[in-house]
Amino acid sequence: MNILPFVQRIGEGFLDVAFPASCASCGDALENPPLPHVCHRCFSKIHIVEDPRCLTCGHPFFGDAESHDDCQHCSRLTPKFARGWSVTLFRGPIRILIYALKYEDAFWALGDLGRISEYAEGLGDFLEEAILVPVPLHSRKLRERGYNQSALITEELCRRFEVEHRDDFLTRIVDTESQTRFNRQDRYRNLKNAFAVERKSDLDLKKRYVLVDDVFTTGSTLNACAAALRKSGVKEVDVLTIGHG
């Protein structure tokens, strides 16, 4: 479902009334803010990831990059994707914006997440000629929430970076979140087979696909999606997240 046109139809005027001009993070009044809903002080607390960073998961290497052969955030992953990029670290104002979007129907946060992505140096090059693919929700979860926040983020990024996206072939066939009766190991095993590619013949295998999710936590969801794409014959799969946990 594409909710953006609906939100845009409501118009900025309504949004200003519904969400008065105060910082989403600290509540201070906004004056020429660097992001639509984040003040200068809170913006300075956002960690936009720069080099040196882990090329697999996108987490920054603090200090001496030479001493980081292994990244502690993804060293236990056997990545099925080649490269990973995260725009920011998932903390402070970014955590507030993503939670608002994910759990409070705060579609206004998309503008902030899109704008912060434009501050990430080199992201345009990373996305060049890629096809963005949001991590899908299971149909039960989609019905419950009403929208897929990763799909909305993907649309926002496509608009700003002028790249294409596809959300019609990767599906989540196993409802892993409802499997609380399984132990952790079983759930992990189920996650590995949770995604499937439909209409394989419709895929352009020569293209590079970039999977998009809101947050990189263990990377196992993104990895399961990447595995499904690779199994379908896609050669190049990378991943992009807004926040790295």
Which residue ranges make up the site for Zn ion (CB under 5 A)?
A: 23, 25-26, 28, 39, 42, 54, 56-57, 59, 71, 73-74
Show Cβ contacts of residue 98 under 8 Å, excluding neighbours closer than 6 positions.
90, 109, 113, 149, 214, 215, 242, 243
Q: Decide: helix, strand or coil at residue 237.
A: strand
CB of 73 or CB of 83, closer to Zn ion: 73
* Cα–Cα distance for residue pair 225/171, rounded to 1 Å: 9
CB of 227 or CB of 239, closer to Zn ion: 239
Q: Decide: helix, strand or coil at residue 178.
A: helix
* Shortest distance (Å) from residue 17 CB to Zn ion: 20
CB of 16 or CB of 168, closer to Zn ion: 16
CB 42 within 8 A of CB 29: no
Structure tokens at 95: 């955590």
* Shortest distance (Å) from residue 179 CB to Zn ion: 27
* Shortest distance (Å) from residue 59 CB to Zn ion: 5
CB of 25 or CB of 241, closer to Zn ion: 25
Q: How many CB atoms lie within 10 A of CB 3?
A: 16
Question: With DSSP H G I counted as helix, E B as strand and the rest as coil, what are the percentages for the chain, rounded to 5?
Answer: 40, 20, 45
In the block, residue with structure tokens 């149909």? 139
CB of 100 or CB of 151, closer to Zn ion: 100
* Shortest distance (Å) from residue 126 CB to Zn ion: 15
* Shortest distance (Å) from residue 19 CB to Zn ion: 14
